[in-house]
Amino acid sequence: MTHNPSTPVETPQHAGVRFPPPLVYGIGLVVGWALNRWIAWPITVGPSRGRLATAVLFGFACFVLFVGAFTVFRRARTTLIPKRPATAFVTSGPYRWTRNPMYVSLVCLYVAAAMFLNTWWTLALLPVVVLAIDRLVIVREERYLSAAFPAEYAAYRARVRRWI
């Protein structure tokens, strides 16, 4: 079936993401933890101040990014949930530097958790987790935003990177 250019294309109601994106990060952590129980691959042997400091640093970065993104979404009175329609297009706060500060914050939380779990397995799985988020979530959200806010999103996309 072909699309007739004179027929208007209906904007989708939402991004079409049917699962909570943090679930993907959680699955990566659980699989990494399980692999470590099967074949140990510790980041450090025994307690490590450096590993703990890294966990705290990434945990703090997660907190700052998420609170900043959450705050601008609340002020704009739009939803964080990708299966609900966006009522506003947000470009302030951390959205000035990255189009996906919430997903970047989840990467930071993931790294903090990997440091706490003390296993390289979780870090080795991080690229797979990020790729899954990119392909299963972000691509759909970008398609939706391009349809819902065509001019605004095109200009925003041209000036702000997807990740960092």
Q: Is the pLDDT of residue 25 over 80?
A: yes
Give the number of other CB atoms < 10 A from CB of residue 91. Answer: 16
Q: What is the mean pLDDT of residues 59-85?
A: 90
Residue 16 has a pLDDT of: 63
**Torsion of the alpha carbons at 164, 129, 23 and 41, rounded to the nearest 10:** -120
Nearest CA-CA partner of 121 in 27, 55, 53: 27
22-159: which CATH topology?
Four Helix Bundle (Hemerythrin (Met), subunit A) (1.20.120)
Q: What is the mean pLDDT of the chain?
A: 89
pLDDT exceeds 60 at position 148: yes
Provide the pLDDT for residue 8.
47
With 60 as the cut, is the pLDDT of residue 64 above it? yes
pTM of the model: 0.88
Domain positions in the chain? 22-159
Residue 155's CB is within 10 A of a number of other CB atoms, namely 12
Confidence class for position 30, pLDDT limits 50, 70, 90: very high
CA distances from 41 to 5, 33, 44, 45, 71 (A): 56, 10, 9, 10, 38
Residue 134 is classified by DSSP as: I
List the one residue out of 130, 134, 123 whose CA is nearest residue 54: 123
